């Protein structure tokens, strides 16, 4: 009888999980957590990312992906139930909030009077995951002198979705391979994915502030593949370049 009761309990647990999982489920205002012998089921809240969930529970993100049969860390949504292996207590997880135009100048910093930036080049990482730290490590291993970008905008995997990371080259106002050219990289492979709305908004605001501070004309915003002599698809077929430029123009004329 005890075994039957346990089986019945497990059956109802599975039914509850099925009801709260899936992208079509409406997001709840308060966290819903279902316990199981393997851990807890955390129901994704609005604005939460897999990276922030894993960080909050101090669990390996790839472990969460493996037990939940996820192929892409960006493909989770509000209302989806995720098994957090080994977790026992629910935790509050604050979603990442993009800085907004008012705070963007704090990220960029004051205008460097000795710098002469004349253009902005947009890249994608061509990877599904990543952040400034792992790109810096990779670029050092490839003898590129460290992170090759001035700014990196996350996609919610290893940093916040839309989170702007300032690279060492910008902090030191160091050039990359093209003089007076600001390099910005969005995490993602935009031959396979779309730019998230958070990344889009952060990129528009960042570029608008840079163009305003350094008197860079909108005509000098370009994608990596548009540079003469470059044989590349970067930043990818799905990258909304012309929409970004149009939004930057709106920001500059407000």
CATH code, domain carrying 162: 3.40.80.10
- Domain end residue (candidates: 35, 56, 85): 85
219 shares a domain with 139? yes
Q: Which residues pair with 123 in a beta bridge?
A: 185
Contacts of 206 (CB under 8 A, 6+ apart): 104, 107, 108, 151, 153, 164, 184
Please answer whether residues 169 and 178 qualify as being in contact, where contact means their C-beta atoms are separated by less than 8 angstroms. Answer: no
For residues 40 and 135, membership in a common domain is answered with no
Question: Is residue 91 in a domain?
Answer: no
User: How do 181-186 and 119-124 pair as beta strands?
Assistant: parallel
Q: Residue 80: which domain range?
A: 2-85
Interval 237-245 mean pLDDT: 95
Question: In the 8-state DSSP scheme, what is residue 251?
Answer: H
Maximum CA extent, the chain: 80
Where would I find the beta strands (DSSP E) of the chain?
A: 33-36, 39-43, 81-85, 119-124, 151-155, 161-166, 181-186, 221-223
On whether residue 45 sits in a domain, the answer given is yes
> Could you say which of 85, 116, 143 is where a domain stops?
85
Residues 191 and 105 in one domain: yes
| pTM for the predicted model, two decimal places | 0.71
Question: What tokens were used for 215?
Answer: 């008197």
Q: Are residues 156 and 218 in the same domain?
A: yes
Higher pLDDT, 132 or 48: 132
pLDDT tens digits for range 62-117: 889 899 998 877 778 888 999 999 888 888 787 666 555 557 777 888 888 889 99
Residue 239 covered by a domain: yes
CB 84 within 8 A of CB 59: yes
* Tokens coding 127: 């990877």
**Average per-residue pLDDT in the chain?**
82
Residue 16 resides in a domain: yes
One domain, residues 159 and 117: yes
> In the structure, what pLDDT confidence band is assigned to residue 124 with cuts at 50, 70 and 90?
very high
Our count of domains for the chain comes to 2
What's the rounded Cα separation, in Å, for the pair 164 and 206?
9
Residue 245: what are its φ and ψ, rounded to 5°? Answer: -60, -40
- Residue after which a domain boundary falls, among 85, 110, 133: 85
Both 74 and 124 in one domain: the answer is: no
Where residue 19 sits, what CATH number does that domain have?
Answer: 3.10.350.10
Cα(200)–Cα(254) distance, integer angstroms? 18
Residues in the chain: 254
107, 81: one domain: no
Kindly report the CA angle at 207 between 147 and 145, in degrees rounded to 5?
10
| pLDDT value at residue 245 | 95
């Amino acid at each position: 009888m005890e075994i039957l009761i346990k089986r019945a309990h497990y059956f109802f647990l599975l039914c509850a999980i099925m009801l709260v999982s899936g992208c079509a489920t409406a997001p709840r205002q308060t966290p819903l957590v279902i316990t199981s012998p393997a851990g807890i089921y955390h129901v994704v809240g609005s604005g939460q990312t897999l990276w922030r969930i894993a960080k909050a529970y101090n669990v390996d993100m790839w472990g969460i992906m493996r037990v939940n049969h996820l192929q892409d860390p960006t493909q989770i949504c509000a209302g989806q139930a995720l098994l957090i292996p080994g977790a026992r207590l629910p935790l509050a997880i604050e979603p990442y909030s993009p800085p907004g135009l008012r705070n963007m100048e704090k990220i960029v910093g004051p205008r460097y009077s000795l710098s002469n930036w004349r253009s902005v080049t947009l890249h994608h990482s061509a990877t599904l995951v990543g952040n400034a730290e792992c790109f810096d490590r990779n670029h050092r291993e490839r003898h590129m002198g460290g992170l090759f970008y001035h700014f990196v905008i996350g996609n919610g995997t290893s940093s916040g979705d839309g989170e702007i990371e300032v690279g060492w080259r910008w902090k030191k106002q160091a050039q990359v391979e093209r003089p007076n050219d600001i390099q910005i990289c969005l995490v993602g492979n935009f031959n396979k994915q779309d730019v998230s709305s958070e990344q889009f908004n952060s990129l528009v605001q960042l570029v608008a502030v840079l163009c305003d501070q350094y008197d860079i004309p909108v005509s000098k915003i370009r994608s990596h593949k548009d540079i003469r002599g470059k044989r590349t698809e970067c930043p990818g077929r799905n990258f909304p370049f012309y929409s970004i430029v149009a939004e930057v123009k709106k920001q500059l004329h407000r």
